[in-house]
């Protein structure tokens, strides 16, 4: 929680986890900012209470992230992958742009297609401008009817997820063509993490994961997603 504490304190907080990742041969640590969040159970608070990046000094916060990322790389050979997230400090398009423009390249990105779309992030622009900083890629889709309810009814994040906000790639309203083209044509060689985030009683995990894998494999095998995606 670098928004609330020092680099030294944060390094101590992640020390055991970082050591474990290094021992396992991992090269990336995904990092989510949990400081400055609203209420005791932030993900149960209305979406309108989302923490704004303006709550902290951007220069000071990004300086701490730069230092933290440098030390993770030096001491553990781990690349930092910062996860932008609904309800957290770096959420909306303008926040993500300001954050990335004030941090250096050692501060990598865990880019989440679902969180990006819901927060109004211009996905093709981020992939084009900051694709070289993506260290982890989380792939999910968004159901438009639940997205409408999220803001219209001021739902909490957890209420929206339980209502089915997220689904697997290809099942929602995200235009996946630029995302697929990025995976195919860029230098990204990290993991593709498919996330369903659904009630397992409604979406049996094995069948859902298998369907998502088949969809992704099919579309990545085509030469260009702009035409193939519609099929």
Helix, strand, coil proportions of the chain in percent (round to 5)? 50, 15, 35
Q: How confident is the model at residue 224 (pLDDT cuts 50, 70, 90)?
A: low
> Which of 188, 65, 178 has its CA nearest to residue 126?
178
* Residue 168, CB-side half-sphere exposure with 13 Å CA sphere: 20
CA 116, CA 133: separation in Å to the nearest integer? 16
Q: How confident is the model at residue 226 (pLDDT cuts 50, 70, 90)?
A: low
CA 98, CA 136: separation in Å to the nearest integer? 20
CA 190, CA 192: separation in Å to the nearest integer? 7
Q: What is the total count of domains within the chain? A: 1
Q: Which two tokens stand for residue 15?
A: 């020390």
The boundaries of the domain holding residue 23 are 7-228
Assess whether pLDDT exceeds 90 at residue 25: yes
For residue range 46-71, list pLDDT tens digits in order: 999 998 999 999 999 999 999 999 99
Hey, is 224 helix, strand or coil? coil
Q: 74 in a domain, yes or no?
A: yes
Contact indicator for 34, 86 with CB cutoff of 8 Å: no
Q: 125 in a domain, yes or no?
A: yes
Q: 131 in a domain, yes or no?
A: yes
Q: 2 in a domain, yes or no?
A: no
For the four alpha carbons of 22, 33, 141 and 103, in that order, the dihedral sign comes to negative
Q: Domain of 41: which CATH number?
A: 3.20.20.150
Q: 49 in a domain, yes or no?
A: yes
CA 67, CA 106: separation in Å to the nearest integer? 9
Q: How confident is the model at residue 222 (pLDDT cuts 50, 70, 90)?
A: confident
Q: 59 in a domain, yes or no?
A: yes
Q: 34 in a domain, yes or no?
A: yes
Q: 1 in a domain, yes or no?
A: no
Q: Which two tokens stand for residue 71?
A: 């030390």
For residue range 184-209, list pLDDT tens digits in order: 999 999 999 999 888 898 899 999 99
Count helices and strands (H / E) in the chain. 10, 7
CA 171, CA 83: separation in Å to the nearest integer? 23
């Amino acid at each position: 929680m670098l928004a609330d504490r020092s680099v030294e304190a944060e390094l101590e907080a992640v020390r055991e986890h970082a050591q474990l990742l290094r021992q396992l041969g991992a090269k990336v640590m995904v990092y989510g900012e949990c400081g400055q969040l609203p209420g005791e159970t932030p993900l149960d608070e209305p979406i309108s209470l989302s923490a704004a990046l303006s709550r902290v000094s951007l220069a000071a916060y990004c300086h701490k992230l730069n230092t933290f990322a440098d030390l993770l790389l030096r001491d553990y050979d781990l690349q930092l992958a910062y996860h932008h997230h609904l309800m957290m400090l770096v959420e909306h398009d303008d926040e993500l742009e300001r954050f990335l423009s004030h941090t250096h390249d050692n501060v990598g990105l865990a880019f989440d297609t679902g969180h990006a779309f819901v927060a109004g992030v211009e996905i093709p622009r981020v992939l084009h401008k900051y694709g070289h900083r993506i260290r982890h890629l989380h792939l999910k889709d968004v159901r438009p009817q639940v997205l409408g309810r999220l803001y219209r009814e001021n739902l909490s994040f957890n209420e929206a997820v339980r209502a089915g906000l997220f689904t697997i790639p290809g099942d929602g309203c995200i235009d996946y063509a630029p995302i697929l083209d990025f995976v195919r044509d860029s230098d990204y060689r990290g993991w593709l993490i498919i996330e369903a985030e659904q009630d397992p009683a409604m979406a049996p995990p094995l069948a859902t994961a298998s369907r998502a894998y088949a969809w992704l494999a099919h579309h990545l095998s085509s030469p260009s997603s702009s035409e193939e995606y519609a099929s």
